Amino acid sequence: MTPKRRIGVAWATVPTDPFVPVTRDEVPRHRQNLPPGIAMPPSRSWFAQRPGDGSSSSDVDGRLMGRPGPNVGYALSLVERQRETWTLDPLEHGDDAAAVVAEVAMKRAARFGRAPAKPDVDLAVAIFGYDGSADAGWVVRRVALVHDAAHHYEVRRAAVDLVPDELLRVIPGNDRSVINTWRATTPANSVQ
């Protein structure tokens, strides 16, 4: 048993060797102060109501702004798990591709108000054609689009901002025509 010890004005749980006896004064005596037969009610759901909380990811929009969402950094772990399977051009760096794919996955997850999951990363990989579905023309434009994205925030955000919200609604693996249409209309020099 780990006893509570008084440190200053607060009580703290401190580790104690098992051979050290615990006095009766150190045993916690607190019980819920509720009438018999009444239990503690379950916690209520929480809603963003304070000025700094932000009600949704749609209220923060604009050039280089990003999309806030819960636990979006998990996309970086998901990207690292599968980036060895991607098809890259010899002129591309894996770190640049990973940075853009992770941020598109973050953008999609934040749009739905949740943390990133594997389908978010799969869709981002399919959008940019790292799954091998890209034709030679798109690969040339993609190389220019994501060049140095891992090292320059402006380049990465500009590449991610090119992906429209309609494209983020696509279910990975279902409809390639929407992705192909977006690729055809995206110029290579969009970043500059």
Residues 165-188: what's their mean pLDDT? 80
The C-alpha atoms of residue 172 and residue 186 are separated, in whole angstroms, by 20
Higher pLDDT, 168 or 57: 168
Nearest to 147 by CA among 102, 93, 84: 93
* Whether residue 89 has pLDDT greater than 80: yes
**Which pLDDT tens digit goes with each residue over 161-175?**
898 888 888 877 676
57, pLDDT greater than 50? no
Helix, strand or coil for residue 177?
Answer: helix
Task: Tell me the torsion sign for CA atoms 123, 117, 115, 101.
Answer: negative
Long-range contacts of 85-91 (CB under 8 A, 24+ apart): 86/125, 86/130, 86/131, 87/129, 87/130, 87/131, 87/132, 87/134, 88/130, 89/139, 89/142, 89/143, 91/143
| Mean pLDDT score across all residues of the chain | 79
Residue/partner pairs of 1-5 with CB below 8 Å, 24 or more apart: 3/27, 4/28
Residue type, 16: T
Q: Say how far residue 2 (Cα) sits from the centre of its chain.
A: 37
Span 87-109, mean pLDDT? Answer: 93
Rg, Å, the chain Cα set: 25
pTM for this structure? Answer: 0.67
Q: How far apart are CA 76 and CA 81, in angstroms?
A: 9
Predicted confidence at residue 116, as pLDDT, reads 92
Quickly list DSSP for 74-107: HHHHHHHHHGGG----TT--HHHHHHHHHHHHHH
Cα 106 to Cα 57: distance, rounded to the nearest angstrom = 11
Please state the rounded mean pLDDT for residues 57-84.
79
Structure confidence by residue, pLDDT tens digits, 23-42:
766 665 556 677 777 777 77
User: Token digits for 94?
Assistant: 């894996």
Report whether pLDDT(101) > 90: yes
